[in-house]
Structure 1
Amino acid sequence: MQQTIQLDDVPLNRFHLKITGLTFSAHLTDGYVLGVIGFALAQIKPQMGLTPFWEGMLGSSALIGLFLGSLLLGWIGDIVGRQKIFCFSFVIITLASALQFFVTGPEQLFLLRVLIGFGLGGDFSVGHTMLAEFSPRKHRGVLLGAFSVLWTVGYVAASFAGHFISDLSPDAWRWLLASSAVPAVIILLLRIGTPESPRWLMRKGQQQQALAIIHRYFGEHVTLQPEPAHSKRHNLGVLFTARYRKRTAFNCLFFVCLVIPYFAIYTFLPAILQAMGLDKNFGTDLLLNGLLIVGAVMGIGLTAICSRRGFLIGSFVFLAACLVAMSLLTGSQSGWMIACFAAFTLMMSAVSNLVGVFPAESFPTEVRSMGVGFATSMSRLGSATGTLLLPLGIVHLGLSGTIAILAAILAIGAIVSLAWAPETKGLTLVDAGEAASPEAPQPSARTATLHH
């Protein structure tokens, strides 16, 4: 007779890999959606006579939608279940992506891209939550962090599509934007039949249904202990109670400080390379895109090897130093500029793995989807603001001044992480949530060892 084990300690199996693939396929779509807009804008701008304001609005539109979707659908996911939002989000993404082909003005395109972002934001909230709640703790950090690889693959695929499609015809931008409907509808079909999170079912008192799912996918010898309830409230206010406000603040601030430079720089990468005096050609883009993929893979290894806290703090310091150096370099020092930008790209892609790890590990099941969603929504609000203001910043402050501001944002991220970042590596989801709580004692080294 097999010994009973907890869901946190089951060996990695095919179902874990399947739910990981279904979760991170959304990030591939997100990377593609955000990557193609920079190339599409090059054609849309003269055709629609876009002002810098509308250029920034269209560049940030999906990020605005991500803010709204993460906030609203993450909250709903804690009430009605993860699986429903997991499928519904891609219905929205598929339809809005296809309708981009028929737009006649910037206002229509803006609204459709907000809808796409809305679906993606909700999906990020419940997707990372579901993956965290199914994953064994031994592999949870790697699985949650691996999303960065697929996001980068989607972004690089958008770069290839942009280079080879945008010059085919004056209306190539329509095909380029609408092409995101293809992966979206495939993902939607593959997600049909995904089971509900057993942890969510347990929290709703549906123990038999939860155990039935666990036994089907992990075996009859696997069980799950219900988590203690700390709150019966189901609104965003619970995230600001004494128990959760510190972890809410940390996850929002570190997330915001990472993604503002990321999205501001890479959404307008062709324009930034030109402003730097670097050749705007496929070779330069290919180098940087290749480094994004290498960095994402490197980040998986660093997430597995390093402490969560040390990896995050060290990366913030390194990234800020790279941008400070870039702000001080002149156009005649293009070699050093490329070297700094390459180092920045590599490390930014690597540490981006942690934005999928910390929020999911910081909140208990009762508010996990809402907590992940709120942190994601705040990050997208920040990145949307940065993306909206970057073209105006370059015009009024110059490239060096704009880069210096982004370096200051990364420095703030380092300070926040030094003050508040918990260490959640190797803990169960229950203990990880306790480690992030200022009211609960930090798990000792001996306790963490006993949980392995």
Structure 2
Amino acid sequence: MSMISARIERLPFARFHVHLLLMGGLGYLFDAMDAAVLAFILPVLRTAWGLTNVETGVLGSSTFVGYLFGALLAGTLGDLIGRRAVMMSALALYSVASLVSATVDSWPAFFAARVVAGMGTGAESAIIAPYLAEFVARRYRGAFTGALAGFFSFGFVAAALLGYFIVPAYENGWRIVLVITAVPVVMLLWWRRSLPESPRWLESRGRAKEAEAVLDKIEASFAREGRALPAPIAEPAAPVVSTGTLRSNFAALLAGRQARITTMTWIMWLSITFSYYSFFVWIPGLLVQNGMSITKSFGYSLAMYCAQVPGYFTAAFFNERIGRQATIATYMLLGGVSALGLAFAASDGQIMAAGLLLSFFMNGTYAGVYAYTAEVFPTSIRTTGAGLASAIGRIGAIVAPILVGYLYPNFGFAGVFGVTTSVLLIGALTVVLMGVPTRGRSLEDIASEAA
């Protein structure tokens, strides 16, 4: 029986959790802003540095390359050395690399800086949700983690505003924007002072005294607020998983029934990320080729970004109402329907409506995906599993634009949307058929079923 889990499960939602939500959410906000702002910078750099199409494309892929390796490293290190150290290191790496990228004067140096920055954002994105979910009781964990991912939407909106109002307004506007994206380095001071290590992870590493000390401080903050806590009810202990080394952690992901869960997360991440980037990288350009110039307007782009906000937060709400699996599958399927609507849109008004729905549902899916991924692995391999799934998802982001570039000339809109909606359907079915229910269950209970 685990009293560490019991003490966490009895905590009501309070100021402590709001602080965690803001700290993790701001990390996600700047991650999204860093990735999205590159689309507004590349046209300026292409002209200023006389870049070829190939060089511009290489720069465009820089963040994804770094993200893949960052997610993989953060996941493995998060289980080996601790969540807190990885989260803070990732933020420092990202901020410094962003600042360096604002000072360079050649595309190879810019590419290198962006890859390193991408490693930082990838590491943060992989570690934040599974780390902070370990502090939250089962009754609102899905909504908390979904809302945490919702901060991505604010980052995209911020990137659009910076890209349209600062980049073209100054001779070195792109440098100014990159300096702004490096601002999170000041968050390190707040995180260093406020972020505790995960008691669940400490317990999984045999450091029970340290775990109890962390919870003593957390519970003391409730006492200072005058909030009495109910007596803890002992939770089933998490299954013992043979871990502690990189090799054993990866082996545990593919051992027994856990292999099914791990495979499910890979397919889930691949399907949503592949489809997302298929739609949002190629659709505007394809529509422009068909004479739909609205997709080049600031109003259209800003509306797409703003539609993310209710998409994420409604999904966070449904995480607790209908469960993570149902939320993910529903939003995936409705995203596919919205994409079909966009494919057959015949006017600017129809494009706007279908585009808003597509952005709403595709981004909302991620609120379920982040919450679900943070729950389905045992504590001792949680960040390894989440980081690997996120990294595999990046493969979908890299492959999607290439495959769509092949499909469209040969099979047209029907081929592009046929493949992407089929991938979404496969992802939805995989989550429903291969996943495990997590709503209303402690992390230890979920891990026991997977074992």
SS across alignment from 2:139: helix
- Structure 2 Cα separation of the partners of residues 211 and 399 of structure 1: 58
- Which residue is equivalent to 1:292? 308
- Which residue is equivalent to 1:12? 13
By how many angstroms is 1:305 displaced? 1.5
By how many angstroms is 1:370 displaced? 0.6
Matched, 1:91 2:92: yes
Mapped contact 2:102–2:176 kept (Cα < 8 A): yes
TM-score by length of 1: 0.88
Alpha carbons of 1:260 and 1:423: their partners in 2 closer, same or farther (altered >3 Å)?
same
- Which residue is equivalent to 2:189? 189
TM-score by length of 2: 0.88
By how many angstroms is 1:416 displaced? 1.8
- Which residue is equivalent to 1:171? 172
Mapped contact 2:32–2:156 kept (Cα < 8 A): yes
Higher mean displacement: 47-56 or 106-115? 47-56
- Which residue is equivalent to 1:228? 239
* Residues 111-150 of structure 1 mapped to structure 2, 5 A cutoff: 111-150=112-151
SS across alignment from 1:136: coil
- Which residue is equivalent to 1:152? 153
By how many angstroms is 1:57 displaced? 2.7
1:244-295 deviations in Å (ceiling 9; x for gaps): 2111111111112112232444457864664461322222223222211122
- Structure 2 Cα separation of the partners of residues 119 and 296 of structure 1: 23
Q: 1:260 aligns with which of 274, 287, 291?
A: 274
Alpha carbons of 1:162 and 1:143: their partners in 2 closer, same or farther (altered >3 Å)?
same
Higher mean displacement: 127-136 or 221-230? 221-230
SS across alignment from 2:441: coil
- Which residue is equivalent to 2:199? 198
- Which residue is equivalent to 2:226? none
* Residues 361-380 of structure 1 mapped to structure 2, 5 A cutoff: 361-380=375-394
How big is the alpha-carbon RMSD for the aligned residues of Structure 1 and Structure 2?
2.6
Mapped contact 2:271–2:426 kept (Cα < 8 A): yes
- Structure 2 Cα separation of the partners of residues 343 and 168 of structure 1: 32
- Which residue is equivalent to 2:331? 315
- Which residue is equivalent to 2:366? 352
Mapped contact 1:60–1:385 kept (Cα < 8 A): no
- Structure 2 Cα separation of the partners of residues 52 and 222 of structure 1: 61
Mapped contact 2:300–2:352 kept (Cα < 8 A): no
Higher mean displacement: 42-51 or 366-375? 42-51
Count of residue pairs the alignment pairs up:
432
- Which residue is equivalent to 2:430? 416
Mapped contact 1:275–1:399 kept (Cα < 8 A): no
- Which residue is equivalent to 2:228? none
By how many angstroms is 1:72 displaced? 1.4
By how many angstroms is 1:358 displaced? 1.1
Unaligned 5+ segments in structure 1 are 441-452
Alpha carbons of 1:407 and 1:356: their partners in 2 closer, same or farther (altered >3 Å)?
same
